[in-house]
Amino acid sequence: MGDVVNLRLKRKQAARDEARRKGDENAVKHGLSKAVRSLDQARADKAARELDGHKREPE
């Protein structure tokens, strides 16, 4: 005899999988949100400032 399968749970899992797949497609299609882009830019700017701050002055 096979295992007992709860169809309600299978249906919910399938819906979650479909929503995740659709979300991943949209993320690829539309790229990153403005908040994420600005955060990445701010981090890159800060890293560049810190690196420049550690440079030695030419003698």
24-42 core/surface letters (b: 16 or more CB in 10 A; e: else):
eeeeeeeeeeeeeeeeeee
Q: Is residue 1 predicted with pLDDT exceeding 80?
A: no
Please give the pLDDT value at position 12: 97
Nearest to 41 by CA among 52, 53, 33, 26: 33
User: CA 21, 27, 33, 36 torsion: positive or negative?
Assistant: positive
pLDDT in tens, 13-56: 999 999 999 999 988 888 888 898 899 999 999 999 999 888 88
Query: Is the model's pTM score more than 0.85?
Result: no
User: CA 31, 36, 37, 41 torsion: positive or negative?
Assistant: negative
